[in-house]
Every structure is written in C-alpha cells, then in structure tokens.
A and B are shown apart, each in its own frame.
Chain A
Amino acid sequence: MDITINKQMVQKNEKEQDFTPVFKINNLNLWYGQDHALKDIKFDIPEKQVTAIIGPSGCGKSTFIKTLNRMVEMVPIVRMSGEIVYREKNIFTPKYGVEELRTQVGMVFQKPNPFPKSIYENVAYGPRIHGIKNKKVLDEVVEKSLRGAAIWDEVKDRLHENAYGLSGGQQQRLCIARCLAIEPDVILMDEPTSALDPISTLKVEELVQELKKDYSIVIVTHNMQQAARISDRTAFFLNGEVVEYTDTSTLFSNPSDKRTEDYITGRFG
C-alpha cells in the first residue's frame, strides 16, 4: 500500500518563504572583543508580521535585535561583518544615518522606561524633536498613539500627570505609544513583558496582534508560550547561531532540529 503524505502539509511547507521581507540579514557576524556573539546569521524578517526570537540566556538574541537599529554599536568593543538590508538599503553603509534608521525602527525595552515627564510629554517628545510644534497636531499625534497602544481610555483624563504614577503595564504601553508617535515602520521589542504581571502581559500581547496590521514587529522573548501565542514566525538562537527559523506553528508542533525540540520542550541542558 502506498503511504500518502497529507497534501495540505506539503503545500504548507512549500509556502514557507511566501512573504515580503522588511529586513534581509546576510552573513551577519558580531564580536564583543574576542567573543563571537553572532555567527553567520542569515534570514529574512517579514513585513507586517510578528517575528519572535527565542533562545536561552546568552544565545545572542538581544544582541541580534539591537543590530537591527544599530544600537549595538554603542558597545565600544563591538565588531561586525556581513550586512543587514532594511528596505533594500544596507544599514551599515556610511551614508545611512543612524537617526534616520531609528525613526523607522522603533524599540521597546524590557523594563518600562518612560521619561520623568507627563504622560502627554512622553508621547509628544519624539514628534517635537522631529520639528512638530503645532499644539493641535501634537494633540492629535498623542491621542492617536495612545489609542494605538490601547492605553488612551486609561489615561485620557490624566494626560498631564507624571508617567511614573502609572502601573508597570501602563508604563510599558505608554512606551509603545511613545514609539508609535514617530510613526515607525518596524517595532523591536526586547522582552517587553518580562517585568509585567500576567494581565498586563496579555494586554501587551493583544496589542501586538493589533499592531502587526500596521507595523512589522520583532520580539525577543524568554516566554516560549508567548512566542507561540503571538508570533507568525520564530527564530531559535543558540550560541550565536540561528538553529531553526520557520513559521511558528511548525516550530512549536514539529521542529526539524533536535536542539529546537529539546529547548522548546524544556529538556535543554
């Protein structure tokens, strides 16, 4: 008797790379002094999808995400080779301004880090330094961004209070609003919920699902269930290498590499 493979499955595998890339990473290597932290990274990040980066501590996932907006260059001993192409332009070419890149590629960090200013000023800060002075325009940007970050209803009556008075989860969504205010193309999130309680975590996760309609999102997370819940594609990093990069459903139901399987099933080490 012939063994017939399920047709749908074959079709799914064929569709694997069916997306428009926002970032193309080619043979990216990075060293901290002698330490080879990223090794020959090569994969494409899709537009308007959520890409999760998972892996054990020290595997290079935070380093990797910080290369995408060139924040990693702030570490003095860093050396890099290879290229990262953002929208057809290599971000490492000398004439590519870091400010221009970071206007397009926003970032949200592990710990909420609002400025010691009012809620309003936190969001208006970016547009202001980009030259927007008109109060009415700023008001609009602030409201749109806070709405976009699903926090408007909670703060609309206290916009001029200090942001430090917000809860951790609210502060994180405020930081997302601050990021949205400059209308980026890509949002990088480095463990955005690891300092939040479970309900705030779920709110941010819901928000990420909303945001991907308009933005491309790259999220580093220690929480594998979170990656499984919210991402479309997942990259598994180990010792500075990408062991496996595929659509999230495949990675969490039937990974092809034994090391991925061991990590996601918690048999690692």
Chain B
Amino acid sequence: MVVRENFQLQLEEMKQAIVQISKLAEEALELSVEALKNQDLDKALQIIENDNRINVLEDEINDMAILLIAKQAPVASDLRRIIAAIKISSDIERMADFAVNIAKSTIRIGKQELIKPLEELPKMAHHAIAMLTTATKAYVEEDVALAKQLAELDDEVDETYGKIIKELLELMTKNPEHLSQISQLLFVCRYIERTADHATNIAESIIFLVKGKRYGLND
C-alpha cells in the first residue's frame, strides 16, 4: 500500500498548477516583447486582459497550499514543498505583472516612430524568459545544479542591463525630444532585469525545497 497516496496526488496537482502558471507567464512575457518590438497595441491590450487568469491561478495555488497545511500537517520536505510552491507562484505572478507593465509602456509609446530599432532589449528579454523556463524545469525535476546555473544567467542579464541603460541615457541627452519614449524604454529595461531576478528567487526556493537550506543567489 502506498501511504498517503491522496496527499501525494494533491502535492502533484499543486506542482502541475505551478507549471501551468509558469507557462502562462512565459507566454505573457513573450507576447509583451513582441508587442513592444512591433508596436502592436492590440496585442498589448490582450496581455493586460489575460493577466487576470494568472492572478486567479496564483490564488488557487495559495488556497491549495493553505488547505494542505491545515489538513495534512506537513513536515520536513512536504512542508518545504508547499512553502516553495507559495513563494514560487508569487514570483511567477510578479513576472507576469512585468509583462503587463511592458504592455502598458508599449501603449504609452504608441505608434510614434522608435528612436532606433530594438535589438538588444528583446534579446535581453528572451534571456530572462529562458531563465523562467530553466527555473520551471529545475523545479519540476528538483534539480539543484540547474537552479544554481540561474545565478550565472542572471549575471549576464545584469550586464546587458547596464549596457542598455547607458546607451539609452546617451540617446536621451542627444534626443531630448524623445524623452518620453526613451524613459518608457528605460522602464521596460528595468522590468526585464527584475524578471530575471525573480527567476533567481525561484532558484533559491528550489534549493530550499531540496536541501532545506537557504542560499542567496541574488547577492
């Protein structure tokens, strides 16, 4: 007889919900970068509309976690698994919020001609999105080594971030008439950098889940 089969199933269900919310956030981020690059305002509006699904799913994951704690009195790795799910879903929900922020910036920039074609920024965004994919994989497989790699990936994002910010500031001084557009791009740059930070937070939660110890990957 498998002991606590029902509990095991519920934990698995919670894990699947995390995979699902991660997929939705990934999609939202991908769409937001596309919308920005192509100045596609309809797509941007769609991202804002879709965000509610992600918020609801996060609430559902929290409810699952609360019920499991109340009913199953989890300890040790079971308890860590539930705490990790709460934290990870909150990080992912925040990442999806950045997609919404990027969409809002896209709408603010509107149809005005971009000061230069966006290349580095979408690249950095894809890098951050790939970090979410990696984090989710590391979570599903409880792979600590993979989770630790996220710290290095984050360093790369931070480096690109510094470069883009510098470039945008230079553009700002040279093109004061485009101040509003450039400041929106600065915001977007920041949103993407924060997205990557949340992926490292997820990595920290995974390490806590597996090892029961805390590691600071964002330092």
Contact = CB atoms under 8 A, between A and B. Distances in A.
Given A4-B219, A253-B80, A265 B213 contact: no
Contacts of A266: 3-4, 7
A254 interface: yes
Contact of A261 (B4, B76, B151): B76
B73 A225 contact: yes
Interface residues of A, number: 21
Given A253-B80, A266-B3, A267-B3, A224 B214 contact: no
25 contacts: A1-B152, A1-B155, A1-B217, A6-B214, A6-B215, A9-B214, A224-B75, A252-B76, A253-B76, A253-B80, A254-B80, A254-B211, A254-B213, A261-B76, A261-B77, A264-B75, A264-B76, A265-B4, A265-B74, A265-B75, A265-B76, A265-B77, A266-B7, A267-B4, A269-B1
Given A267-B3, A268-B3, A3 B215 contact: yes
A184 interface: no
A5 B215 contact: yes
A3 B214 contact: no
Contacts of B215: 3-6
A6 B213 contact: yes
Q: Interface range on chain B: under 10, 10 to 19, 20 to 34, or 35 or more?
A: 20 to 34
Given A254-B212, A266-B4, A267-B3, A3 B76 contact: no
A228 interface: yes
Given A1-B217, A3-B217, A269-B3, A253 B155 contact: no
B216 interface: yes
A252 B77 CA distance: 9
Nearest to B1: A269
A82 interface: no
B131 to A, nearest CB: 14
B217 A253 contact: no
Interface of A: 1, 3-6, 9, 224-225, 228, 252-255, 260-261, 264-269
A36 to B, nearest CB: 27
A5 B213 CA distance: 7
A253 B83 CA distance: 12
B76 A255 contact: yes
A264 B79 CA distance: 11
B3 A253 contact: no
Contacts of A228: 75
Contacts of B217: 1, 3
Interface in B1-39: 1, 3-4, 7
B32 to A, nearest CB: 28
B121 to A, nearest CB: 24
Contacts of B152: 1
A37 to B, nearest CB: 25
For A224, A228, A255, A266, the residue with the greatest tally of chain B CB atoms inside 10 Å of its CB is: A266
Contacts of A254: 76, 80, 211-213
Given A3-B148, A264-B75, A265-B77, 18 more contacts: A1-B152, A4-B219, A5-B213, A5-B214, A5-B215, A6-B215, A228-B75, A252-B75, A253-B79, A253-B212, A254-B213, A260-B76, A261-B77, A265-B75, A265-B76, A265-B78, A267-B4, A269-B1
Contacts of A3: 148, 151, 215, 217
Contacts of B80: 253-254
A4 B78 CA distance: 24
B216 A4 contact: yes
Given A4-B215, A5-B215, A253 B4 contact: no
B98 to A, nearest CB: 23
B135 to A, nearest CB: 16
Of A9, A228, A254, most buried by chain B (CB within 10 Å of CB) is A254
